Structure 1
Amino acid sequence: MVKVLVTGSAGFIGFHLCRRLLEEGFDVVGYDAMTDYYDVSLKRRRHAMLLQSARFKATEARLEDMAALTRVFIDERPDVVVHLAAQAGVRYSIENPRSYLESNLVGTFNVLECAREFTIGHLLMASTSSVYGASTTMPYSEKHQTDHPLTFYAATKKSTEIMAHSYSHLWNLPTTMFRFFTVYGPWGRPDMALYKFVRGIFEGTAIDIYNHGEMYRDFTYVADLVHAIRLLIDAVPARTDDPTNVPEWDTLSPSAPFRVVNIGNSDTVKLTDFIDAIEDECGRKAIRNYLEMQKGDVPATWADATQLRELTGYAPSTPVREGVRAFVNWYRDYFGT
């Protein structure tokens, strides 16, 4: 049986991925630092659910702790690594950039070193749509220029892509980077817009709406995202001898078994329409506090998922109202609202 190491296993996406892999019969090794960026009890609840499976085990340690990470690789010998752990949040990176340097750059370097030393069959790593910066060329294609990040968070994620390509080239390490687009759904993070909007509506407090609601996002439902990752595990990049034979849609590197893949819904939804859907599911209106654009934010995101579809035969498609309904139902159940 294939064994998968998932970093960030107690996180929002990591939890859903681990659960999906366990349902399919994989052995899963979780690795999470349980940092206090948001409510740790939520992370512990996620891990507790995963630990109900005999095929899941977990280590609590930081990726910056190279000795702890190496010990897991020695003891578990994973076949595949899905590196999701990171300091997340665009806005928090303006307040506390050092945490992004340590978690995203040093932590990812340690993962790359272990993947190299233990000859991992496929390394998959999370990046972000934020690397596209303020580009107005949409939908975003993986081949678009990404050299002008607007936040330090985006800069660290772009840096991990470059770091990973160098390791892939030097050590023939099959690597897939995926760029996520505004992921949402049950068990989401409290700092994410959907969570904050639902909480504000139920608590009767104002919700902040930036750029006066003139924002558009490619909202990607978490189950769709996880399904895409699961399929990409099997789409292992191979070094090409003839780059001219690589299809136009493929980002396979001419010098490494490495590619970058967008995972998004290939649609844009206006923020105010998103809030309308939340209000409908909550059965009450939000108190809307319209504000100017925040520093480092962008007015729109939109994914071109052509490559994902060509590689896997799949592309996310869950309608926003369906995904919002699932989150609100989870929120009601979790908090007894």
Structure 2
Amino acid sequence: MKKVLITGVAGEVGFPLCENLLDLGVDVFGIDIPQERTSERIDMIGRNALFHFTPNKIEEVDWNTMEQTDVIYHFAQTYPASNRFSELKELIASHQRNIKNIVSFAEVNHTKVILLSTIEVYGNTYQQITDDTKPSPTSLYGTIMLAEENFLSEYSRVGDLDYVILRVPFVKKIAHPIEEHCRNIDRTEQEKVSNQNMEFINGHTIEVQDLLHVLIAAGTTNNVKGIVPVPGQTTDNPSYSIKSTKFAELSVHL
């Protein structure tokens, strides 16, 4: 990888990934909304000549002006204020438009797309998760991310695009805004299911640095494509296990 694009570059995962890639000498093009809570991060990475910042909502990006890159890491997400159908419908439609624009750009430039998703797309009943396990989300966050995955898969099939979807467990010491917001809604509107979901996902966690290694490996190797369930560190009594051939192939490059 010589050039990458990160949507949500000032976020909880986008920022440390950007720092790591810049340290490796990679040109990073970042998209994010300037906010008070992330301005210090943008200022910090903005001092590096290899960093190029587009201060826009992803919905407002003019993709015709974006630089060609080898990989796009897609982290930028918006989240609903409630579980109302009309609000979720608009949010998912917005995500669909964003994915369509990203895929269109990637196809023209022969760029790989990497989407960071969640283990929550599987729901909370599976004891073992493999490459072939079917998703069945019971949480709001899992449902939203599965829709995002489906849009990427659908648009990518049309143009035979190279993409990787990483379904990762709970990331330790990170307050991911969309994840936290969706969980708060679940706690309010479906407390019992929410508790079951939390018990399930707490069986595996992943450190930020380990996640960054996975993301970089996914960007550098051409051998792993499609959906990859990512295992993490397990508790004494994990609620599920992961057996993924694709992750085993990816881990060779970690």
TM-score past 0.5 threshold: yes
**SS of equivalent residue, structure 2 residue 217:** helix
Q: Which residue of 2 aligns with 1:229?
A: 215
Report deviation, 1:137. Answer: 2.1
Aligned-residue offset at 1:127 = 1.6
Q: Secondary structure at the match of 1:97?
A: helix
Higher Cα Rg: structure 1 or 2? 1
Matches within 5 A, 1:1-337: 2-34=2-34, 40-65=35-60, 68-73=61-66, 76-87=67-78, 94=83, 97-98=88-89, 100-120=91-111, 122-134=112-124, 136-146=125-135, 148-185=136-173, 188-189=175-176, 211=195, 215-216=199-200, 217=202, 218-237=204-223, 258-268=225-235, 303-304=242-243, 306-313=245-252
Q: What is the DSSP-based 3-state SS (H/G/I as helix, E as strand, rest coil) of the residue aligned with 1:81?
A: strand
- Note the C-alpha offset of 1:306: 4.9
- Amino acid corresponding to residue 228 of structure 2 in structure 1: V
Q: Is the contact between residue 86 and residue 100 of structure 1 (CA under 8 Å) also seen in structure 2? A: no
Following superposition, the deviation at residue 303 of structure 1 comes to 4.1
User: How many corresponding residue pairs?
Assistant: 238
Q: Deviation of residue 80 (structure 1)? A: 1.3
State the Cα RMSD in Å: 3.2
Give the TM-score, by structure 1 length.
0.61
Gaps of 5+ in 2: 181-193
Task: Give the aligned partner of residue 189 of structure 2.
Answer: none
Structure 1, unaligned runs of 5 or more: 35-39, 194-209, 238-251, 253-257, 272-299, 316-337
CA deviations over 1:200-236 (Å, ceiling 9, x no partner): xxxxxxxxxx749x82511111111011110111222
Range with bigger deviation, 45-54 or 262-271: 262-271
> For 1:94 and 1:126, how far apart are their aligned partners in 2?
22
8 Å CA contact retained: 1:180, 1:262: yes
Describe the shift of the 1:16–1:139 C-alpha distance in structure 2 as closer, same or farther (beyond 3 A). farther
| Offset, 1:77 | 1.3
Give the Cα–Cα distance (whole angstroms) in 2 for the partners of residues 168 and 103 of structure 1: 18
Select between 176-185 and 259-268 the one with higher mean Cα deviation: 259-268
- Change in 2 beyond 3 A, CA 1:137/1:307: same
CA distance in 2, matches of 1:269, 1:49: 39
Matched to 2:28, the amino acid is: V
Q: Please give the alpha-carbon distance, in whole angstroms, between the structure 1 residues aligned to 2:149 and 2:179.
A: 24
Letter of the structure 1 residue corresponding to residue 106 of structure 2: A
Q: 1:5, 1:78 within 8 Å by CA — same for their partners in 2?
A: yes
Alignment TM-score, normalising by the size of structure 2: 0.79
